[in-house]
Structure 1
Amino acid sequence: MSAWENGKGGCIVPILVGIAGFLFLGPFGLFIGPLAAMLFSKPRGRGGVGGFRSLSATQDAIIALVAATVQADGRIMRSELDYVRLLFQRMFGAELAQVALLRLRDLLNSNVDIYTACRVIRMTMADSRRADLVRVLMELAFVDGVASESERTLIQRIAVLLGVTMGGEQAQQGRQRAKVYTAPPVNYYAVLGISPSATDEEVKRAYRQLAIKWHPDRMGDKSEKERERANEMLQRINEAYEKIKKSRGMK
């Protein structure tokens, strides 16, 4: 990522414009130039000019492909947006995810140029990462239950543009992973203190830790009220774990 992409180059622009202002307008231009540059610059995220971070060209391109996939079937589902929110947090971190969501909102109201986005990604991402991205897009297509023909066609076109060979395996993986976001309801994951994007191993680990924490054998020196609460918690934990296991086909 260059200094211009991450915001570190923002301080250079006013200096250069100030020098140009001095050459053309004299001492007065030395002050007006940087001011104009700061007023008319439009940072896209926090941490750069004006306290904003910027999205890199690659990140912006990924968001564009996500937007195109959401648009593909002509409707925007809440389940898709919930998935995208978790995806951006995982990919970009909590702070930059908010910037990415704002960028997504803008793109959803426009015609997305997937060709430019794919060209940027192909130049900046390794083959394996591009293949991962195609799988993520297929997962997104299945989040609302069924991937439409228009979604499949779009993702196949994106795969070709990214130089990724796409077969039935990606579709199957997308369908299986999408179950995490469609059922069971997110509150079961909240009971275990994890997100719907957690792996099967993370689900098992969270369950074991909570089952030990709230097991009756650990409540011997507690009050009757505390023991009752522990039993209720353990029932909720067991129910959540069973629901999640069933939805994922876990053993």
Structure 2
Amino acid sequence: MFSFFSIVLIVVVALIVFNLPKSKSSDNSQSNKSSGYSKWIGGGLGWAFGGPIGALLGYTFGSMFEKGGSARYENQPTRQGDFNISLLVLSAAMMKADGAVKKSELDYVKQFLLRNFGKEAADEYLLMLREILKQDIQLQEVASQIGRFMDYSSRLQLMHYLFGIAGSDAQLNSVELNVLNSIAGYLGVYPADFASIKAMFVKETDSAYKILEVSPEATDEELKKAYRDMAIKYHPDKVSHLGEEVRAAAEDKFKQVTDAYEQIKKQRGLK
């Protein structure tokens, strides 16, 4: 029996073969570009093959991606490939938010990819990111597509990652915050969850309370309940269907929830 990876790889090769241009030079160029990403495609794409993201990828990487039309992919569950390509596309949008790609932002993305996917995969992803950065990204369209098809826990993980990019230079300016707020809206992230993630990166006197989505006036019992609810919402197992790499990345967000609770407990003298 063929493994899932083998079947996907066979389909990708077929797509490449049947969509090859007539020109020999173009043929070699397209083949080289496609084969360079075949291993990444093997991770599995569902709904990201179609719609605005599929169109962007089609213009960027060639005809193995469809230019528009997501109807045939509407019932596809979110796969690891969908999450990863969403991460790359929104990374590019975030990096271009204030008009220039900063070295600190590129370094953050590189280290994130290395830490979570290993050098070989990270190198491929960075090549893809550089190609995507050359494109005009229709932020509302691509983010809305992600919001329609991606499960909520995965969208929260994306927002946490994007805040990391924006804050990689040790400051979050108003332009970046506005873009993050817009992305959250397009993704369908609730304002309270946006404020919670923001508080993990923009430290204020009540940041710990904002992370737990509770008022400083909350009772000890309300605080405990809020922590239990947030621990469930942000538990790494919520994104385990996207692969161990994404689950590991989610542990940082979960740790910040726990740290916020411990900080408030210490302030209140709770055990």
Q: Provide the TM-score with structure 2 as the length reference.
A: 0.49
- Map of 2:135 onto structure 1: 110
Match of 1:160 among 178, 185, 192: 185
SS in 2 for 1:143: coil
| Aligned residue runs from structure 1 range 203-214, under 5 A | none
Match in the other structure for 1:84: 109
What amino acid is aligned across from residue 72 of structure 1 in structure 2? A
When the two chains are superposed, the root-mean-square deviation of aligned CA atoms in Å is: 4.2
User: Would the aligned equivalents of 2:166 and 2:172 in 1 still touch at CA under 8 Å?
Assistant: yes
1:99-248 paired onto structure 2 within 5 Å: 99-166=124-191, 167-175=194-202
Whether the 8 Å contact between 1:14 and 1:38 is mirrored in structure 2 is no
- Amino acid corresponding to residue 160 of structure 1 in structure 2: G
Instruction: Determine whether 1:10 maps to 2:12.
Output: yes
Q: Where does structure 2 lack aligned partners over 5 or more consecutive residues?
A: 49-81, 204-249, 256-262, 267-271
Q: Which residue of 2 aligns with 1:97?
A: 122
Corresponding position of 2:59: none
Contact 1:131 1:164 in 2 (8 A): yes
* Cα distance change on mapping 1:41 and 1:115 into 2, 3 Å: farther
Could you give the per-residue CA deviations for residues 213-240 of structure 1, whole angstroms, max 9, x where no partner exists?
xxxxxxxxxxxxxxxxxxxxxxxxxxxx
1:75 to 96, 100, 105: 100
Q: C-alpha distance in 2, partners of 1:13/1:138?
A: 36
Change over 3 Å in CA distance of 1:11–1:105 after alignment to 2: closer
Partners of 2:179 and 2:7 in 1: how far apart? 28
Give the AA of the match of 1:174. Answer: F
Superposed counterparts of 1:20-59, under 5 Å: 39=28, 40-41=30-31, 43-44=33-34, 46=36, 48=38, 53-54=40-41, 56=45, 57=48, 58=82, 59=84
Equivalent position SS for 1:173: helix
CA shift, 1:143, in A, is 1.3
Shift of the alpha carbon at 1:103? 1.6
1:9-34, Cα deviation, whole Å (9 max, x unpaired)? 134347768xxxxxxxxxxxxxxx9x
> Secondary structure of the equivalent of 2:101?
coil
Instruction: Give 1:80 deviation, angstroms.
Output: 1.2
The residue identity in structure 1 corresponding to 2:199 is: Q
Tell me if the contact between 1:85 and 1:97 (Cα under 8 Å) persists in the aligned partners: yes
Q: Determine helix, strand or coil for the equivalent of 1:121.
A: helix
Shift of 1:124: 4.2
Between stretches 137-146 and 39-48, larger displacement belongs to 39-48
Moved more, 167-176 or 155-164: 167-176
Q: Kindly indicate whether the alpha-carbon contact (under 8 Å) linking 2:163 and 2:198 is maintained by their aligned counterparts in 1.
A: yes
Structure 1: runs of 5+ lacking an equivalent: 18-32, 177-196, 203-248
> How many residue pairs were aligned?
166
- Cα distance in 1 for partners of 2:105, 2:17 equals 44
How big is the shift at 1:96? 2.0
Shift of the 68–45 alpha-carbon distance from structure 1 to 2, 3 Å rule, reads: farther
Distance 1:77 1:47, change over 3 A: closer
In the TM superposition, residue 43 of structure 1 has moved relative to its aligned partner by 4.5
